Amino acid sequence: MDKSCLYCNKIPYGDTRNIGTQRFNNKAVSNIKLNPCDTSLLTALTWNVPNVGANSYTVTTRINYCPMCGRKLVEAS
């Protein structure tokens, strides 16, 4: 395991580093990162959504490899 990749390994304080941030014209902001509890889960957290009643939402998908270093994240069972 490559412990030097800060995107698929926890950084100090038990979090993972943001892979990217997307800002939208409607002032919403989305951060994309690997879940620190299960790095095979890629998560996009979006907040300041302008629709009434929606302050934030999260979209998660399972991936097999780190998008930054290419390390395999899911072990064969």
Structurally, the chain folds into a number of domains equal to: 1
Report the pLDDT value the prediction gives residue 47, as an integer from 0 to 100: 86
Report the pLDDT value the prediction gives residue 27, as an integer from 0 to 100: 79
Domain assignment present for 48? yes
Domain assignment present for 75? no
Under the banding of pLDDT at 50, 70 and 90, the label for residue 77 is very low
Structural domain boundaries, residue 9: 1-65
Best CA proximity match to 41, nearest among 66, 15, 14: 66
Domain assignment present for 12? yes
Report the mean per-residue pLDDT for the chain.
Answer: 84
Domain assignment present for 71? no
Percent of the chain at pLDDT exceeding 70: 84
Q: Judge whether 35 and 60 are in contact, CB under 8 Å.
A: yes
List, for residues 65-75, the tens digit of each pLDDT value: 999 999 998 76
